[in-house]
Amino acid sequence: MPTNAVAMALLIMLFPLASYGQGRYRLTKNRKAQTENKWQKKYSDSIVAYRDSLYAGKVDLKPSGAIDTAPFFLPMTYYKGVVHNAFSLDKDLTDDDMTLLNIYLNHPELVKNTEQKLDASGPALTPRTVTESPSVIIKKTKPNEPEALPVDVVVLKPNFWAFSGDYYLQFLQNYLTDNWYQGGESNYSMMGSVTLNANYNNKQKVKWDNTLEMKYGLQTTRSDTVHKTRTSEDLLRYTGKLGLQATKKWYYTFQLIAQTQWARHYSTNSSKVQSDFFSPFNLNLSVGMDYNVSWFKNRLTGSFHLAPLAYNFKYSGRLALSKRNGIDEGKHSLNDFGSQTTIRLNWKISDNISWATRLYWYTTYERTEAEWENTFSFQFNRYLATKIYLYPRFDDGRSKDDKMGYWMFKEFVSIGFSYSM
């Protein structure tokens, strides 16, 4: 009987506690759900505020309630005050306490620290509630445009002209004793040459090339008792071409060639003049097509001039030399028509070796003139060079030679100063 009385007494005493615990549990469960809802609302409010900040110049971020955020962004710590409030009969759990208690119960592996350790290392940092409503001001500024400064505009007239030149002065000395077994005689020779180019090209359709060639050479000869020196080289020639572009390489071209010499030439041991200034003088006008050459990576350059129609004018100032130059005796000039071809090429074979050639051919289909000039240059340095000159010529309008016929040939080898620009 006494045992039953004690059991009844304990049941009566524990019943209120059980009822309070069930109510506390239901309250805690409800508070947990409310806390989660509040945190979700605060997060969604922050997203909405950020969205509005993108389209408004000024946005006031007003939190819907005070939040202690420090415990959630610092390393997770076990605060004994949270557990104390959970078991207290006279204290309610805050939203932050409910969140921390939920982490302690469901994810204890996230707890890395304790409040006791923090007390040992120094004063505990109490989470601080943000009470002020922060405001974010976004200022939309325009980019600073550079200040417009006055600019002096200088318009330069394009220069379509290109100038170049080639110069050389060559010397040759030859000495033989009087009893040299092969015969011959000692002599000295000197020759100078100047070639000037002035070319116009407007980079569209028109080209105008101008070339002026001047050569003069002297040599001594002991066998000529009348003249101490004789002219070995004599040339004054102008070549002009006016072209209108037809395709990338082809031009409709009008060409003019004018040629004569500087001085008088005499026969050996005689005062008889064989040629003189403007005796002869040759003028050739032709209309045709030009093809520009640029081969072997621009090492071989030049042009081919093909003219189906050409006019040739030959003049001799000395009547006595008219027949020698293919002009009827007693007349100063000769006019005829025909076809003409001119080829000019420059080939840089190597850094020190080059070849320049000129092939001129004119025919009236009754008579023919052909010239083929070849100059091989061996450059030792910038100013010293050796030149080999080969010049075969054919002209069946002149008197026929018993040995060579209508062919003529000139050749020389020289060494001296050379300069190009």
Residue 68 — pLDDT band, cuts 50, 70, 90? Answer: low
Query: Going by DSSP bridges, is the β-strand pair 187-201/77-78 parallel, antiparallel, or unpaired?
Result: unpaired
Q: Which of the pair, 119 or 418, is modelled with greater confidence?
A: 418
Is the per-residue pLDDT at 200 higher than 90?
yes
Residues 217, 77: Cα–Cα separation, whole Å: 110
Which range has the worst mean pLDDT, 9-23, 41-55, 197-211?
9-23
The residues, any chain, with a CB within 8 Å of residue 121's CB and separated by 6 or more, are: none
Is the per-residue pLDDT at 130 higher than 70?
no
Is the per-residue pLDDT at 47 higher than 60?
yes
Number of helices and strands in the chain (H, E): 5, 18
Closest to 176 (Cα-Cα) out of 222, 231, 218: 222
Is the per-residue pLDDT at 394 higher than 70?
yes
Cβ atoms of 356 and 390 within 8 Å: the answer is no
Q: Which of the pair, 271 or 63, is modelled with greater confidence?
A: 271
Region 164-169: what's the mean pLDDT?
92
- What average pLDDT is seen over the chain? 82
CA 354 to chain centroid, in Å, comes to 28
Q: Which of the pair, 356 or 61, is modelled with greater confidence?
A: 356
C-alpha pair distances (Å), 56 with each of 105, 121, 135, 256: 43, 46, 12, 81
pTM over cut 0.75:
no
The sign of the torsion formed by the CA atoms of 283, 284, 285, 290 equals: negative
Q: Which of the pair, 44 or 346, is modelled with greater confidence?
A: 346
Region 317-328: what's the mean pLDDT?
90
The residues, any chain, with a CB within 8 Å of residue 274's CB and separated by 6 or more, are: 265, 266, 267, 321, 324
Residues 343, 209: Cα–Cα separation, whole Å: 14
Closest to 353 (Cα-Cα) out of 389, 380, 372, 373: 380
Whole-number pLDDT of residue 148: 74
Residue 377 — pLDDT band, cuts 50, 70, 90? Answer: very high
- Amino acid residing at 317: G
Per-domain residue ranges of the chain: 16-137, 161-420
Residues 387, 368: Cα–Cα separation, whole Å: 29
Residues 378-384: contacts with CB within 8 Å, 24+ apart? 378/352, 378/353, 379/351, 379/352, 379/353, 379/354, 379/418, 380/352, 382/419, 383/417, 383/418, 383/419, 384/415, 384/416, 384/417, 384/418
pLDDT digits (tens, 9 = 90+) for 300-314: 999 999 999 999 999
The residues, any chain, with a CB within 8 Å of residue 336's CB and separated by 6 or more, are: 311, 312, 364, 367
Whole-number pLDDT of residue 314: 95
Is the per-residue pLDDT at 43 higher than 70?
no
pLDDT digits (tens, 9 = 90+) for 11-40: 454 444 444 444 444 445 555 555 555 666
Whole-number pLDDT of residue 198: 96
Residues 82, 4: Cα–Cα separation, whole Å: 40
Residue percentage of the chain with pLDDT more than 90: 42
What residues does 191 pair with on adjacent strands? 170, 217
pLDDT digits (tens, 9 = 90+) for 236-291: 999 999 999 999 999 999 999 999 999 998 888 888 898 999 999 999 999 999 99
Closest to 175 (Cα-Cα) out of 166, 187, 164, 165: 187
**From the CB of residue 316, how many other CB atoms can be counted at a distance below 10 Å?**
23
The sign of the torsion formed by the CA atoms of 151, 154, 155, 160 equals: negative
Whole-number pLDDT of residue 401: 86
CA angle 260, 398, 393 (to 5 degrees): 65
Angle between helices 2-53 and 95-106 (to 10 degrees): 110
Which range has the worst mean pLDDT, 18-27, 189-198, 199-208, 332-341?
18-27
Residue 4 — pLDDT band, cuts 50, 70, 90? Answer: low
Determine if the peptide bond prior to 280 is cis (ω within 30°): yes
Q: Which of the pair, 117 or 163, is modelled with greater confidence?
A: 163
Cβ atoms of 416 and 389 within 8 Å: the answer is no
pLDDT digits (tens, 9 = 90+) for 395-406: 998 888 888 899
Closest to 262 (Cα-Cα) out of 231, 224, 283, 230: 231
